[in-house]
Chains A and B, each alone.
Chain A
Amino acid sequence: MSERTFTIEDLKRILLEGAGAEEGVDLDGDILDTEFEELGYESLALLETGGRIEREYGISLDDDVFTDNRTPRSLVTAINTQLETLVAP
C-alpha cells in the first residue's frame, strides 16, 4: 500500500465539495488555526465532511473527531496519524 497523506488543500477541497464556503470566509486565507465553527461549518457540515474523508481515504473516524479537533490544523494531524497506522507493519 502506498503511503497517503492528508493536506490542508485536501481538506479545503472536501469542505468546498461537501459544504461550500460561508460568505465572507476565504478558505485560501490563513485558516489552519481558526475553529471550524468560526469558518461557518456546523455539526452537519462536519458530518458530511467526515463522511467524505472516510470514503476517500478508506478510514473510519471516531464519533468525536470533530469535537476533539476543532481546527483544520488539528484535524489534518489527526487524520494523518490515522493514515500512518494503515501503512504500519
Chain B
Amino acid sequence: MSRRVVITGVGVLAPGGIGAKNFWSLLSEGRTATRGITFFDPSSFRSQVAAEADFDPELHGLTAQEIRRMDRAAQFGVVAAREALADSGLALAGFDPHRTGVTIGSAVGATTGLDEEYRVVSDDGRLDLVDHTYAPPHLYNYFVPSSFSAEVAWAVGAEGPATVVSTGCTSGLDSVGHAVELIREGSADVMIAGATDAPISPITMACFDAIKATTPRNDYPEHASRPFDGTRNGFVLGEGAAVFVLEELESATRRGAHVYAEIAGYASRCNAFHMTGLRPDGREMAEAIRVALAEARMNPESIDYINAHGSGTKQNDRHETAAFKLSLGDHAHRTPVSSIKSMVGHSLGAIGSIEIAASVLAMENHVVPPTANLHTPDPECDLDYVPVTAREHRTDAVLTVGSGFGGFQSAMVLARPERSAA
C-alpha cells in the first residue's frame, strides 16, 4: 500500500501572529489583525483595509544580503520554513538532502517587489521603454517566483525535487497536496511544503478594487472581514506564510517525532466556469471534498471540524455552504465550520497553508477557532460557523478547503494517524 504522510513540523507567519504559538493565541482568542493599510497611502483606493504582518526580517535571522535579494514573500517563506524545521527536530535527527524536497505555493509571487521595481525602472510609469540600468540583479528572482523554492531549499539544505505551485488562491493547499504525492510515490522521504504571499501593494489593491472583490468597509478595519455574516461585502487582503515538514509516517514514528496530523486525503477540481465567478451549487468543490474523503477512506461523519475558505464575499460563502451540504449531507449541519480569514485576512495563495496550520493546531488543542465578526445571520449561510468565540471541541479529523480564481477548488482531510483507516 502507498506510504502515509504526516506533518511533523509547523512554521507560521501570519498577521497578528508571527510564529505558530502567537498565531494560535490570536485565533483561539478570536482577535482580528485587520487594520487600515499602513504600507502605502491607500486614500485613493476603494478598499483601504488589509491584514498586515509586523515583520522585521533582521529580527528573524535574515542577513542583509538575503533581505536585499528576496521579495517580502520569499522572506516569509524562509522564516516559516526555518521554524518548521526546528519544530520538527529533523535537523538534529539528520536527513538526506537528496531525499528532501521543497514545494512552495504562491498565487502572485513577487508582485510587491515587481510593483516597486517597475516604479523605479519606468520612472513611475512615464517610460514605455523602461530603463534597464536601474534594474537590480534580483529583478530576475521577482520575474520567476520559483526563486521562493530555491531560497527555502538553500535555507534548509534540500536537494530533492523542488518547485513552486501556483494555482491562485488554492496554492497553499495544492502545494502541500503536491508534496504529499511526492512522498507517497517515493520521489522524496521528507518535503518542506507550504505557501507564501505578500500581496499588499498598490497593484493588488487596485485590481481587486476594479472587480469590487475587497471590502470597502474602511471605517471599521478591525471588523472589516465578515465571512458568513449577512452584512459581508468582500474580503480583506492579507499576507503571510505557513510551511510544514512532511514525512513518511513510519520513519517519523521511528525517530520519535511529534506527529501533528496525517494528510489523509487531498483532491483538486476545476469549475471550468469562470475566471472569477462561482456557480452557486458548489458542485466542483463538493466533488473535491468527496474525492479527498474517499482517498482518506473516511466518511463525512468522521469530520469533526471544517476549516472553511470563507473569504467573506457574497458569492463565495454561499457557494461553499452549498458545497458542504452537497458533499457531507446532514453532517454539514452538525459540524462546526469557521473561517480564520475573519481574523488574518485573505493572503491569496498563502492562506491555504495558513489554514492547514490552523487546522492542525485545532487538533492539537481540541479547540475550534471562531469566525470573528459574525453577528448577522444570512439565510443562505445556515451552518454552525462558530461565531466570535473559540469553542472547545474534540477534533481528531479536519476538512479544510480552498477556492480560487481560475476555478480551482481544493479539499484536504487531516486526521490523527490512528483515526484514519490504515
Contact = CB atoms under 8 A, between A and B. Distances in A.
Name the prevailing secondary structure of the A interface residues.
helix
Contacts of A44: 211, 274-277
B392 to A, nearest CB: 40
Contacts of B210: 47-48, 51
A38 interface: no
B275 to A, nearest CB: 7
A24 B210 CA distance: 28
Nearest to B216: A63
A81 interface: no
B60 interface: no
B212 A63 contact: yes
Interface residues of B, number: 7
Of the four ranges (under 10, 10 to 19, 20 to 34, 35 or more), the interface on chain A belongs to under 10
A42 B273 CA distance: 11
B277 A47 contact: no
A81 B274 CA distance: 33
Interface in A23-67: 42-44, 47-48, 51, 63
A47 B212 CA distance: 8
B406 to A, nearest CB: 13
Nearest to A43: B277
B274 A47 contact: no
A42 B277 contact: yes
Interface in B269-322: 274-277
Contacts of A42: 274, 277
Nearest to B234: A63
Nearest to B211: A47
B114 to A, nearest CB: 22
Contacts of B277: 42-44
A47 B276 CA distance: 12
Interface in B106-165: none
15 contacts: A42-B274, A42-B277, A43-B276, A43-B277, A44-B211, A44-B274, A44-B275, A44-B276, A44-B277, A47-B210, A47-B211, A47-B212, A48-B210, A51-B210, A63-B212
What are the nearest 7 A-B pairs in CB distance?
Answer: A47-B211, A44-B276, A51-B210, A63-B212, A43-B277, A47-B212, A42-B277
Interface of B: 210-212, 274-277
Given A42-B274, A47-B210, A51-B210, 12 more contacts: A42-B277, A43-B276, A43-B277, A44-B211, A44-B274, A44-B275, A44-B276, A44-B277, A47-B211, A47-B212, A48-B210, A63-B212
